[in-house]
């Protein structure tokens, strides 16, 4: 799973197949149709979350909720950890664009992340 981080407003936005923008509007990005490659604005910091580690962490949390108390088994507790990373500058899966180059047809699909 790819996300973008905005160094100006601190927002983190999950990429979708339509353009999503951070709260301040200085960064944006989207997945291409293949769902693997992405385009992001040049100021966005791309973040990856290992999908398998996320799936295992969610399952561990569900197991904890079913038991009704914190997990004490170390192996299951370790599954609560996520593997996340900042993508390399020259990632073959990510291309960058200048925000000024965002096309009108792209902007019609823009979704700003909801405030929290
Ligand atoms: Zn921002």
Domain positions in the chain are: 2-112
Strand partners, 96: 40
Instruction: Tell me, in angstroms, the distance from the centre of ligand 1 to residue 5's CA.
Output: 8
Q: For 54-70, how does the pLDDT look when each residue is reduced to its tens digit (9 = 90+)? A: 999 998 888 888 888 77
Instruction: Tell me, in angstroms, the distance from the centre of ligand 1 to residue 103's CA.
Output: 19
The pLDDT of residue 116 is 45
Instruction: Tell me, in angstroms, the distance from the centre of ligand 1 to residue 92's CA.
Output: 24
pTM: 0.79
Instruction: Tell me, in angstroms, the distance from the centre of ligand 1 to residue 39's CA.
Output: 16
Instruction: Tell me, in angstroms, the distance from the centre of ligand 1 to residue 83's CA.
Output: 24
């Amino acid at each position: 799973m790819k996300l973008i981080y905005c160094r100006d407003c601190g927002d983190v936005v999950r990429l979708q197949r339509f353009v999503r923008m951070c709260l301040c509007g200085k960064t944006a990005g989207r997945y291409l149709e293949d769902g693997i490659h992405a385009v992001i604005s040049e100021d966005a910091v791309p973040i990856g979350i290992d999908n398998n580690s996320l799936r295992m962490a969610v399952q561990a949390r569900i197991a904890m909720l079913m038991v009704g108390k914190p997990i004490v088994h170390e192996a299951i507790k370790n599954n609560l950890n996520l593997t996340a990373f900042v993508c390399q500058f020259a990632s073959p899966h990510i291309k960058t664009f200048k925000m000024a180059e965002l096309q009108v047809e792209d902007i019609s699909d823009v979704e700003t992340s909801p405030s929290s």
